[in-house]
Structure 1
Amino acid sequence: MMLSYHTGNKKWFHTYKDAAVTFGKNEIHVPFAEKVNEPLNFSFHLKRKDHNAGPLIGIMAAERNDGRLAGNGPLFASIQTEIIQKGGLSFIFTSESLKNDGADGYLYIPSKQKWIQASFPLPHLVYNRIPFRKSENSIKTIKAFNKLKENKVPFFNPGFIDKYDLYSAAVTDPEVSVYFPETILIDHMSFHAFFEKHKNLYLKPCLSSKGSGIFRLKNIGKRNILFEEKDKKTVYSNFESFWEEWGPLLMKKKYLAQKEIIPFLKNGKRFDFRILAHSDSKQYQVTGVGVRQAECDQLTTHLLNGGELIPFEQVRNSDHDQFINTIVNLSGNLLSEKFGFFGEFSIDAGISTTGQYYVYEINSKPMKFDEEEIESKRVENLCSLFFKITGFY
């Protein structure tokens, strides 16, 4: 079925005489028009379920302070290109633009390689790609999600994950907890005891990503403490002198302390797995695995912090494959059980000198993968999931 959008009067229409056509989750009536007049109209071939055309996928982004849209534009354009080829349509919108019966948003036209503004009915499904925690926690966004729930519009992913909330959820599942390094939420007394127990710790903000704000704390003999930032190292004579300087920040920004895992080295360098996963609506599957390598003593393997990308095939073996497949299903099921349905997530994981696998983080809104084949597979899997969830086969 072909639907067209008139950019002049901002209306959808069809050209099937005597046909009843609806569009969107709320099945708005689409009027008949005799013909399509270029260049004010853009036409799309969509699948249909009874009289309803679709699927219509809403990608939820956010506005910057200057009113511009914030989000992963290249990913959104790739999704639109793929979903049009499959017989669907996607658009970008924000919580501010969501109305009771639809939303105003942006539509990507692959043939023109440009975005146009358009009005839409309620989408059949919403893919949450709000890039800022502050935006996601705003009153407008909370109201928007409640509105989607009231109209029974399914959406994923439900939101950013607090790192300590993730750990707290993981330790309730015996199968999952073995992969998580021991972790506490920082306060003065418990943190001091935790440091005395483990000697070497990573300190991470509960609400951050891309390796931002990560520190390392090491006992280096007698009572001396080495505190490592990204580009700086400081030695303190005892725990109290360290806490006097850094305690207020660690408490204010809500930091966790995580036992340091001594990593397995390949050619004298540590490496971590960055695993991308998607639901196929029944279980979770591995979409792709990237490997990030760093010098042995480097703080993180994130590319922004000096890490290096190497092909998974250089380190791949059957044990790695088994772990990755196992942790993807365990993590996906845990996330959806504890936080709401996750159709997509990524995992940062590693392996210790003893051969034990560990999960360092799970990311609810994965950033772009530098490996083109993984990004391509990502778009393919996302679009397949959109069609499965909405029932447009």
Structure 2
Amino acid sequence: MVVINPWSKRMQPVIGILTAKKKDGTIGGNGSLFIELQKKLISLNGISFIFTLDGVQDDSIDGFTFIPEKNEWERIISPYPDLVYNRIPFRKSEEEIKNSAFFSHLNDKNIPFFNPGFIDKYELYQLFKEHPILQTYMPATIPAFQKQKLSAFLSQYQTIYLKPSQSARGNGIFRLELATEKKLMLNGIRKSEEFITFDHFWNEWENILREKNYLAQEEIQSKTYNGKRFDLRILAHAENDKYIVTGVGIRQSQKQDITTHIPSGGKLLPYTLFKTKELDFFIESVVEQIGIALSQKFGFFGEFSIDAGISETGHYYIYEVNSKPMSFDESEIETKKIEHLCQLFLQLTVHNNY
């Protein structure tokens, strides 16, 4: 059923959640997030709908809205929303959006666009290395597509991580170790390889490193808890012209120590086990500095998550920043996320509505 212009004038704000279709033609994205946002927005007298670029017209948008009473999605044709929230799950789809006329339509209509897009890991590293505060927390990183530079980098640090510059969730990460003067060990989440020389490694991996824009990053000897390394996962949101910490989770490696991500076998630990005034201060300060730096460089960022760590010597490190945070397994953090997002939607749309 198609409902044309379903929004009551009293429903403010109207949030359009931009996503993309999967290869099979179905709509992708975090469905549970979209549903929870809709429920919270309705309680605040607002409403939301999801849409893809295919549904965008000059004066209206064809999409879907969730009806809590029916517990189902309903197709709608709506006027342009008060704000567009970018939750496109695929980088290729996001490039299509950026190359379309959609952004100019939003600018013409003075509609805010929440979050510019995915972050390239090397662009992020370059930005933070020029920052007076954040540079102290960055592991050494170089592009991995020049043979001599990569070989020298490996010789310098003995063990390095190889990461695709545009991946997420730990996908495609490998640890490369100079096991002896010549022999190399390459370990991934699911496979390991041995190379008798760097040349042998390069001959097999050169094309992969180039095609996926791999980065090389020094391995940080991480602090451990009960003999296993752990990382911090920090969720942050904008609030009243500043950036606040929404929640902090701890992820600990188990069967493999390449990554601590839960889908790859990582374990959840409570932040209270590690909480100190010093660690709280580090988290709060980097959240504020990262939020400002990202928004000044790329455009307004209303949310992001940070993967950070602590070395054996007690030094803090920033490993990654994600512009479209995954769901947290901690229910209290997820609840706060929904609240902060909806309050931010209200804050960003108030000038357009009154």
Tell me the TM-score normalized by structure 2: 0.95
Q: CA deviation at 1:145?
A: 2.3
Aligned counterparts of 2:104 and 2:83: Cα–Cα separation in 1 = 14
Aligned to 1:127: 85
Query: Share of identical aligned residues, percent?
Result: 46
The count of corresponding residues between Structure 1 and Structure 2 is: 351
CA contact 2:85–2:113 (8 Å) conserved in 1:
yes
Aligned counterparts of 1:253 and 1:322: Cα–Cα separation in 2 = 36
Aligned counterparts of 2:3 and 2:234: Cα–Cα separation in 1 = 45
Tell me the TM-score normalized by structure 1: 0.86
CA contact 1:225–1:236 (8 Å) conserved in 2:
yes
* Residue 336 of structure 2 is aligned to residue 377 of structure 1: yes
Aligned to 2:69: 111
Aligned counterparts of 1:276 and 1:306: Cα–Cα separation in 2 = 21
Q: How does 1:293-372 map to 2 (within 5 A)?
A: 293-295=252-254, 298-372=257-331
Aligned counterparts of 1:231 and 1:265: Cα–Cα separation in 2 = 22
Aligned to 1:160: 118
Q: CA deviation at 1:13?
A: 7.4
Aligned counterparts of 1:227 and 1:353: Cα–Cα separation in 2 = 23
CA contact 2:251–2:269 (8 Å) conserved in 1:
yes
Aligned counterparts of 2:159 and 2:104: Cα–Cα separation in 1 = 44
Q: 2:136 aligns with which of 178, 187, 211?
A: 178
Q: Structure 2: which amino acid aligns with 1:192?
A: S
Q: 1:201 aligns with which of 140, 152, 160?
A: 160
CA contact 2:222–2:229 (8 Å) conserved in 1:
yes
Q: 1:230 aligns with which of 159, 170, 189?
A: 189
Q: 1:89 aligns with which of 12, 28, 47?
A: 47
Q: Structure 2: which amino acid aligns with 1:178?
A: T
Q: CA deviation at 1:150?
A: 2.6
Identify which of structures 1 and 2 has the higher relative contact order when contacts are C-alpha pairs closer than 8 Å and 6+ apart.
2
**3-state DSSP of counterpart to 1:211:** coil
Q: Structure 2: which amino acid aligns with 1:151?
A: K
CA contact 1:203–1:215 (8 Å) conserved in 2:
yes
CA contact 1:136–1:142 (8 Å) conserved in 2:
no
Aligned counterparts of 1:149 and 1:176: Cα–Cα separation in 2 = 32
Deviations 1:253-312 (A, max 9, x none): 110000110001112111101111000141000001111001496111011211111111
Quick one: structure 1 residues 322 and 140, their matched pair in 2 at CA, closer, same or farther if it must change by over 3 Å? closer
**3-state DSSP of counterpart to 2:170:** coil
Decide which structure has the larger Cα Rg and report it.
1
Q: CA deviation at 1:322?
A: 0.9
* Residue 147 of structure 2 is aligned to residue 188 of structure 1: yes
Q: Show structure 1 runs of 5+ residues with no match.
A: 1-6, 15-22, 24-44, 47-53
CA contact 1:109–1:115 (8 Å) conserved in 2:
yes
Aligned counterparts of 2:126 and 2:98: Cα–Cα separation in 1 = 28
Q: Structure 2: which amino acid aligns with 1:55?
A: P
CA contact 1:270–1:296 (8 Å) conserved in 2:
no
CA RMSD of aligned residues (A): 1.8
Relative to total residues, which structure has the larger strand share, 1 or 2?
Answer: 1
Aligned to 1:213: 172
